[in-house]
Structure 1
């Protein structure tokens, strides 16, 4: 049997207000995290986070379907990079990743932008910009590395770029 005091409108209102204050307090703690406060909207932070990711993964070999330091493919590397460095969830495959965020011109690229390449009829590749012309990716020939977007090979196959931040 419930006490009349606990079902009164004042008591219910008190608990609703208290609950709302607790939720607001939790939200402000989350937004103060560097992953949420800076993230991709701050190019200096994004650059630093991506170079950190590169230091941790440099040279890990490419492996189709791989998702670990024993071997990783390009889309899995983007998925885990965005999850680890920016607390963002990306789709697992390159084709789906090519539809997230918004399209951005190659002349407006900044750290954190995804860059996509059409290598062949059914082969796509993805990386992430870390600096002016440098992008981080899992290369099928050399594993996780940084390449220059303006090398003739990458220019030949460049397809599009996507920005995930504002």
Structure 2
């Protein structure tokens, strides 16, 4: 069996989840990125969402992509909403933003969408809120990854967030 980057990422997440679940803080300090991501994943209420993210973890970013060979941010949110929540979204992030019910960040629930503007203008990125300060998205540099929403780069770029309106 050929070991791919996806297998490596999934293995690393499983190891991190194991250590977090066993409260072995000395092996996986809670302040590491991997431990925070593992904790966010372990805390998901929707186990179907958990499995879906694990299946896609590490998939490379590809603008316009919509499969495991590469996917972009709006493609990932499009598929998650369709496959996990049974909701239809437009394909582009700025069009997706038009069909959400905007709400305060403190009111977000698992599966809500978070929209960003890194270019300083219109919406150019989207991710999916998980819990606490964590979200999953298709990072242009790292592919599908769980990240810390409290990082200043993300906080400065948040434009809108909320659940899909349909």
Give the C-alpha shift of residue 165 in structure 1: 6.4
Determine helix, strand or coil for the equivalent of 1:104.
coil
User: More deviation in 67-76 or 155-164?
Assistant: 155-164
Query: What do the CA deviations read for 1:39-65 (whole angstroms, capped 9, x no partner)?
Result: xxxx823xx332221100000000011
Give the C-alpha shift of residue 101 in structure 1: 2.7
In 2, Cα distance between equivalents of 1:66 and 1:163 = 24
Residue 154 in 1 paired to residue 125 in 2?
no
Residue 45 of structure 2 aligns with which residue?
44
Tell me the matched-pair count: 122
Instruction: Assess if the C-alpha contact under 8 Å between 1:100 and 1:162 holds in 2.
Output: no
Instruction: Assess if the C-alpha contact under 8 Å between 1:129 and 1:136 holds in 2.
Output: yes
Residue 124 in 1 paired to residue 159 in 2?
no
CA RMSD of aligned residues (A): 1.7
Residue 88 of structure 2 aligns with which residue?
89
Q: TM-score, normalised by structure 1?
A: 0.69
Determine helix, strand or coil for the equivalent of 1:86.
coil
- The structure in which a higher percent of residues are helix is 1
Give the C-alpha shift of residue 87 in structure 1: 1.5
Structure 1, unmatched stretches of 5+, are 1-42
In 2, Cα distance between equivalents of 1:74 and 1:113 = 14
Structure 2, unmatched stretches of 5+, are 1-43
In 1, Cα distance between equivalents of 2:60 and 2:141 = 8
Residue 63 of structure 2 aligns with which residue?
64
Determine helix, strand or coil for the equivalent of 2:137.
strand
Instruction: Assess if the C-alpha contact under 8 Å between 2:113 and 2:129 holds in 1.
Output: yes
Q: TM-score, normalised by structure 2?
A: 0.69
In 2, Cα distance between equivalents of 1:153 and 1:112 = 21
Determine helix, strand or coil for the equivalent of 1:76.
helix
**Runs of 4+ more than 2 Å apart:** none
Give the C-alpha shift of residue 131 in structure 1: 1.4
Query: What do the CA deviations read for 1:56-98 (whole angstroms, capped 9, x no partner)?
Result: 0000000011111000000011111111111211110001100
